Amino acid sequence: MVSHASLCDAALAMQDGGVVAYPTESCFGLGCDPSNSNAIQRLLRLKNRKRDKGLILIASSVAQLKPWVDIRASRQYENIISSWPGPYTWVIPAIGPLNRWLVGGYSSIAVRVTAHPDAARLCALFGGPIVSTSANIQGRPALKSAQQVSKCFGGRLQSLVHGKVGNLRTATEIRDGSSGEILRGVAK
């Protein structure tokens, strides 16, 4: 398990507008404060990712997502709640206008209550959900170790949480919060 000090360092770095890397269910993730436009833009540049794709928010609890989405209004409410915490991401209509860098021009946002203990502790210490996208350059394989992340991103990250990724072999499953349709993968 990752040290409390390491997670506090990452949470503080995000509160100061930094981009951090941390272990998730399937790979290392890159994250930042979802309300900080500059941090989101920096993250997108690090990955060489197009801004129109939108990003995922992970949280330690459903309560952390309440300011961002109305899960209760979703037709898949019971399925969503029963899948969390877990490697299941749901695309749900956002509450109010969200940062265009975050939602990629969509009116919905992808959200997940993470089952990874260190990622959940990071969200709890940060005090809310965080942006979460695979730690990699767009189009390349997701990075699975802190050593790989350090080699790829070097000093361009404000914090790197050294920990182990979960046992999920593929990227987390993404489902439509209205229809339940699988939009990406099946969690394995």
Report strand pairing: 28-31 vs 56-59: unpaired
- C-alpha dist (Å) from residue 44 to 51, 104, 138: 7, 11, 9
The percent of residues above 90 in pLDDT, for the chain, comes to 80
| pLDDT average, residue stretch 117-131 | 98
Architecture of domain 4-184: Alpha-Beta Complex (3.90)
Element (H, E) at 176: strand 173-176
Indicate the pLDDT class of residue 169, thresholds 50, 70 and 90. confident
Q: For the chain, what are the domain ranges? A: 4-184
pTM over 0.75: yes
Where is average pLDDT lowest: 38-42, 58-62, 179-183?
179-183
pLDDT of residue 41: 96
Helices and strands per DSSP (H, E), number in the chain: 7, 9
Cα(148)–Cα(160) distance, integer angstroms: 11
